[in-house]
Amino acid sequence: MSRRIDLIPSQIKLVIALSYDLGALSIAFFLSYFLRLGGDMHVFTLAELSVFVLTAGFTLSCFYLLDVYSSIVRYFNAKASLKIAGILIGAACVCYLSSQVIDAFVPRSIPFSFLVLSTLLIAGARALVGITVGERLFEERDQVVIYGAGSTGRQLSTALNQSNKYHVLAIVDEKTRYKGRNLHGTKIYGLDQLEQLIKKYGQFKVLIAVSQVNPERMKEIVNAFEPYALELLTVPSMHDMVSGKHKIDELREVSVDELLGREPVEPIPELLSDNIKEKVVLVSGAGGSIGKELCRQIISQTPRRLILLDVSEAFLYEINQELNEYQQSHNTNIELVPTIGNVQNGMLMTRIIRTHQVQTIYHAAAYKHVPMVENNVIAGITNNVLGTYEIAQAAVFCEVETFVLISTDKAVRPTNVMGATKRMAELVLQGLAKRDHQTRFVMVRFGNVLGSSGSVVPLFKKQIRSGGPITVTHPDIIRYFMTIPEAAQLVIQAGAMGKGGDVFVLDMGKPVKIVDLAVKMTHMMGFTVKDQNNPAGDIAIQYSGLRPGEKLYEELLIDDHAQATDHQRILTANERSISWAEVMVLLNKITEAMKDDNIDEIRQLLIEAPLGFVPAEHSAHSLEPAAKVTDKAADKIESVDHVQTASTSEENTIQPVSSTPLLV
């Protein structure tokens, strides 16, 4: 109905409104006489008719001039009612005064009865239309409950009451002083009355209206609502609202970061800027999830120049555009150099690094999806191992100051080719670090990051929105998670700590059971899980089995020993390394097998290499029961929390550097 009204031209609406109001004024005026005199209407002459014309003309003119006709009837409210009532009071005064001037027969009761009747017919009719249309609109609006009766909740309630998208059913707050009271006509309930609200209204959305809340508190709030399978939305941050970037009613989904959230640790400014400020920085894999975030963090530290290197033109364009927009909004003028190139091309890497006189490299370019690398062994080794070798050799040849490798927890006792290639890339850099040159090599190892390409989080969201099922590889699989910004920030700080050949590990917090994550995400998006206990649920969870090379849990350390650093979430590990001569022997054997396209021989070489590589089909890790796996993961966390002094690594062997790239 409201849509049909919206389609009527405004001129026609004005004519309809004027006609109705004129008719309503006529009825009110003549009915007032009828009520006063009964059927004796012979006193009604030209003088009385003139009084009506003056009164009606005054009223309609005021309605037009004071924008009564420009207001939308379906949003008719108390303020509009007062405006109409004020004009009609003036009309009643005009009625009486004009009768005195014209000497018309207008008893004193007529203006009062005219005022009452005209108000009922004009303001009352508008209110009736508003209620009727509002009821129809109500069916189309999302029913919501606001969590938080503070200032943010009050602002949100006011904003939503004026919109046609949400209908506020109630406000929930855990503070007892608010319980049972009303806010803008909406009743406030306690958190313990949530089931009562669900029984009364059915499913609804929950809008979390709490600004400037720390991650631990947000996690508590989310966990309080999550079991009820209510869709959770939250208001923009106070900073975004004050800056005008977002309005209070621009709601967003509660992210998984907030479900798993932990209090971020303030970065050490000196470590963030040490390798970046006023320097030329290169990021390989700049278009990937980690690469993009590294670029965002780096540009905020004002480098002299930032080289964006990626093999994908589309991804490179995307991050370059984003950084240009950042510079415009922050009024900075850092030189950005988007460069299409493959790290496997050693000559190209040398030319890029030498041309731009690069001082710091963050090497994030890698094939990281376990099943893809498992089925493309040669491509995985070529990119992850030989690509790292080529860009590292180029860095040494061009005397780059710092080279930071982004590694992975899958490099620890790897059960898949991807993990083995990343551990081998570490060995290449550890071997190079022992030689006589100016470049400082640092490796930073961490687990899964939320929202990265290939992460379970975007996959689960897509599956939930499409109605399921959610696919989980194993009911007992667990993983460590960290947000992309935190991971990138810690990588930069760890890179500044290294002395050469260091392997740093990031404190990933406690591991998360993937099936629990799937259940919580389902509930947060407003759906229930379909299982034996709830066959009428919305989203089913299916177990697809462990993928090739996948294990139930990941580790960050090989020997369980780590040393504390200046940063509470960065630890340094003393991992086993081999000499550069041994590295070269191993690389040459693998490249020979790659020339022959002998996958079996390549796999066997990876198994025999000092990588700790045990394919998943031979690994006990992938078959351990859930309780044992969880206990082991907890033990790993304890070993990180109570660090021990590790034994010293083997003596460095000083050898001259060869700038000759490895031939593949």
Q: Assess whether pLDDT exceeds 70 at residue 9.
A: no
Helix runs in 300-440, H state only: 313-330, 346-356, 370-375, 377-381, 387-397, 417-433
**Whose CA is closest to 359, among 438, 469, 472?**
438
Classify residue 71 by its DSSP letter. Answer: S
Long-range contacts of 528-534 (CB under 8 A, 24+ apart): 528/229, 530/468
Torsion on CA atoms 56, 58, 63, 65, rounded to nearest 10: 150
Q: Which two tokens stand for residue 581?
A: 């001569």
Convert the pLDDT of each residue in 514-529 to its tens digit. 888 888 888 888 888 8
Would you state the pLDDT for residue 652? 34
Distance in angstroms (rounded) separating the CA atoms of residues 294 and 306: 11
**Range among 165-174, 189-198, 400-409, 475-484 with highest mean pLDDT value:** 400-409
- pLDDT band per the 50, 70, 90 thresholds, residue 449: confident
Q: Out of 136-140, 338-342, 553-557, 619-623, pick the least confident.
A: 619-623
Would you state the pLDDT for residue 533? 83
DSSP element (H, E) containing 443? strand 440-446
Q: Assess whether pLDDT exceeds 90 at residue 334.
A: yes
Q: Out of 361-365, 431-435, 452-456, pick the least confident.
A: 452-456
Q: Assess whether pLDDT exceeds 70 at residue 40.
A: no
Place of tokens 């029984």: 199
- pLDDT band per the 50, 70, 90 thresholds, residue 415: confident
Measured on CA atoms in the order 626, 627, 628, 633, is the torsion positive or negative? Answer: positive
Q: Which two tokens stand for residue 547?
A: 């993928």
Pairing assessment for the beta strands 402-408 and 440-446 based on DSSP bridges: parallel
Q: Which two tokens stand for residue 430?
A: 């550890």
Greatest Cα pair distance in the chain: 124
- pLDDT band per the 50, 70, 90 thresholds, residue 245: low
Q: Decide whether 141-254 matches 269-641 in CATH topology.
A: yes
Classify residue 237 by its DSSP letter. Answer: P
Domain ranges in the chain? 2-138, 141-254, 269-641
Q: Assess whether pLDDT exceeds 70 at residue 587.
A: yes
- The count of residues in the chain is 664
- pLDDT band per the 50, 70, 90 thresholds, residue 644: very low
- Quickly list DSSP for 256-299: HHHHH--PPPPP-HHHHHHTTTTSEEEEETTTSHHHHHHHHHHH
Place of tokens 């790993």: 636
Question: Is 231 within 8 Å of 166 (Cβ atoms)?
Answer: no
Place of tokens 């800056």: 243
Q: Which CATH class is domain 141-254?
A: alpha beta
Distance in angstroms (rounded) separating the CA atoms of residues 363 and 282: 8
Q: Over the chain, what is the mean pLDDT?
A: 80
Distance in angstroms (rounded) separating the CA atoms of residues 416 and 603: 10
Q: What is the mean pLDDT of residues 265-275?
A: 85
Question: Is 487 within 8 Å of 446 (Cβ atoms)?
Answer: yes
Distance in angstroms (rounded) separating the CA atoms of residues 187 and 455: 41
DSSP element (H, E) containing 646? none
Classify residue 179 by its DSSP letter. Answer: T
Find all residues with CB under 8 Å of 584, minimum gap 6, and list them. Answer: none
Convert the pLDDT of each residue in 312-333 to its tens digit. 999 999 999 999 999 998 899 9
Q: What is the pTM of this model?
A: 0.67
Cα 513 from chain centroid? 21
**Range among 129-138, 202-211, 395-404 with highest mean pLDDT value:** 395-404
In single-letter form, the type of residue at position 561 comes to H
Q: Percent of the chain beyond pLDDT 90?
A: 27
CATH architecture of 269-641: 3-Layer(aba) Sandwich (3.40)
Would you state the pLDDT for residue 308? 97
- Quickly list DSSP for 135-181: HHHHHHSEEEEEE--SHHHHHHHHHHHTSSSEEEEEEE-S-TTTTT-
Q: At what angle do helices 387-397 and 346-356 cross, to 10 degrees?
A: 40
Convert the pLDDT of each residue in 86-141 to its tens digit. 888 888 898 888 888 888 888 888 888 888 888 888 887 777 776 666 555 555 56
- Positions annotated as catalytic residues are 410
Q: Which two tokens stand for residue 365?
A: 């370019």
End-to-end Cα, the chain, rounded Å: 71
Question: Is 427 within 8 Å of 611 (Cβ atoms)?
Answer: yes
Distance in angstroms (rounded) separating the CA atoms of residues 70 and 31: 29
Q: Is the peptide bond before 469 cis (omega within 30 degrees of 0)?
A: yes
**Range among 175-179, 255-259, 419-423, 626-630 with highest mean pLDDT value:** 419-423
More confident residue, 564 or 346: 346
- pLDDT band per the 50, 70, 90 thresholds, residue 341: very high
Per residue, the 3-state secondary structure of 473-519, as one string, reads: CCCCCEECEEEHHHHHHHHHHHHHHCCCCEEEEECCCCCEEHHHHHH
- pLDDT band per the 50, 70, 90 thresholds, residue 661: very low
Distance in angstroms (rounded) separating the CA atoms of residues 296 and 319: 9
Convert the pLDDT of each residue in 273-306 to its tens digit. 989 999 999 999 999 989 999 999 999 999 999 9
Would you state the pLDDT for residue 645? 28
More confident residue, 352 or 14: 352
- From the DSSP assignment, how many helices (H) and strands (E) are in the chain? 24, 23
Q: What is the mean pLDDT of residues 2-19?
A: 64
Distance in angstroms (rounded) separating the CA atoms of residues 298 and 447: 21
